[in-house]
A and B are shown apart, each in its own frame.
Chain A
């Protein structure tokens, strides 16, 4: 460790739900971040600085001009170079914390590789931009018994729920199937406020740190965030005993179509 930063996690260790033991567990953890857009950038920045021992960053895109307002890890040079997001993000995170391992995975997350990725992680962060990948991630995480943190943002609003297999409901207890893309309001039409994305990502990161430090996130509590009015509401999502995923263990999204 470079001199002078032996106490780098002192302020996190002061928190009752982290402490020295929780910080040690966070340092021994691997987290998979699926997507390096507005949510993924902010999540990864918070988790890297919090000392998560290994971050796996997956994204298939390169940095574009329209990403700069909302995606906090990138700069204008990345746009010029058409840098792959996962790699640009990894280099910024390594500069912020050289004590952790950061692995960029520039490519698609699909049924072909999600199980292998989830197997390497203690927790999965949802920073995807579509529901097909979220249902895939839900299947893989529930099958592997790994927690994952759902988060979505649109306009000035967001939603966050921690999914703990065996501890609470999963995404399919809430929704039977992914909405067809043409039924959902797309961010490129309705926009995303950068502060809303950062707020959603911050709540997801807090849930992740609680889970990693103490195994105690707010499992199954759906938070709905409205940054325009500055309000958050939360309600318990009931577990569905007949849920095809966490109830009957039919992981249909993991099977090739």
Chain B
């Protein structure tokens, strides 16, 4: 199994940390992982994106142009990365703030109302965990228990009290992801 993912959105949405948690979860189940961020001026207030690869085998290139899954969290990233999904692949996006929705017919498109659900849960910071939950429902490449283990490993001890809330957010994402087109 090799899953090649791009996560793209605004700086501050938790794009990079979502990728990091996903990568840590892969390590928890003995997989190879790579996490390659865009870095530099792009990070400061503009777009942020990260390529995450989770695989059973040694990973070759950490830099890719075609992905199995694109997780898209703003319009600029939609414009840039809709075309980068492999035919038969998955595009997952939050429709909040999207005016030009994806149109491709050769990929499966999913929506998650991440921003809205986070607001309803009373904490906008768990937005990225809702989206991660949605992704893991569509592509269960890592087990939920390993995500929790990964969180424990990547968060300093003083934040461990926040783990149940993150778990709720993951579950919320899993429950609320909807397919907005169907290949069949």
A associates with B: no
